[in-house]
Amino acid sequence: ETGVTQSPTHLIKTRGQQVTLRCSSQSGHNTVSWYQQALGQGPQFIFQYYREEENGRGNFPPRFSGLQFPNYSSELNVNALELDDSALYLCASSLGGFGNTIYFGEGSWLTVV
């Protein structure tokens, strides 16, 4: 629907492992943001990438890192997984610049056991 696709849709990891989540932004969108949504909470801003550069970060530790590629797709990497990292991870893309609509992907459900 929105043209933003995320993978995988669901995954289970063990505490201490590492995970990589992927996002393909809507065609032509050069800005990607990642959000974490724990159960019963609103999405929390992790970071944003604009033209392959990090462009702002929320209150997340360095073990949360990301990349944006020349085609504007993006990855979120989380190292040393903790139980509290269990959440829905949402990717949102937009055409950079204030005033443009943001489109969310369907998210990746991560469970850490």
- The rounded distance, in Å, linking the Cα atoms of 30 and 102 is 11
By CB under 8 A, tell whether 45 contacts another protein. Answer: yes
By CB under 8 A, tell whether 31 contacts another protein. Answer: yes
By CB under 8 A, tell whether 111 contacts another protein. Answer: no
By CB under 8 A, tell whether 44 contacts another protein. Answer: yes
By CB under 8 A, tell whether 101 contacts another protein. Answer: yes
Q: Which residues bind another protein (CB under 8 A)?
A: 31, 33, 35, 40-45, 48, 55-56, 58, 88, 90, 92, 94, 98, 100-102, 104-107
